[in-house]
């Protein structure tokens, strides 16, 4: 069995390339109400998508943030979950 995932060093892309790849998923998600997307590209892709900060990789492979990368979005995730849980509790 062959691992088809790219290595972290091979996933460099520009913000424009990322937007082109994300377009289909964005169109699908736009059809649903109540979905909140936490897109790391908003933070990481200016103008090119960063794959490391201070020598530490942000991704474990081409589609998944590393633990270090995920920690960069901890506050954003807590806010999003707080909103979602608050809405659920009000029902």
Contact 68, 57 (CB under 8 A): yes
Bridge partner list, 87: none
The dihedral formed by the CA atoms of 47, 51, 53 and 55, expressed in degrees to the nearest 10: -140
Is the pLDDT at 64 greater than 70, yes or no? yes
What is the model's pTM?
A: 0.66
Report pLDDT digits (tens) over 15-35: 788 888 888 888 999 898 878
Report pLDDT digits (tens) over 53-63: 998 989 887 77
Is the pLDDT at 2 greater than 50, yes or no? no
Model pLDDT, residue 9: 63
Is the pLDDT at 3 greater than 70, yes or no? no
Model pLDDT, residue 60: 84
């Amino acid at each position: 069995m062959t691992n088809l995932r790219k290595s972290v060093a091979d996933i460099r892309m520009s913000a424009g390339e990322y937007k082109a790849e994300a377009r289909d998923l964005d169109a699908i998600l736009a059809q649903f109400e109540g979905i909140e997307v936490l897109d790391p590209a908003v933070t990481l892709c200016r103008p090119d998508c960063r794959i490391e900060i201070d020598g530490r990789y942000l991704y474990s492979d081409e589609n998944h943030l590393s633990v270090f990368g995920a920690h960069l979005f901890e506050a954003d995730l807590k806010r999003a979950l707080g909103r979602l849980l608050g809405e659920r509790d009000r029902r």
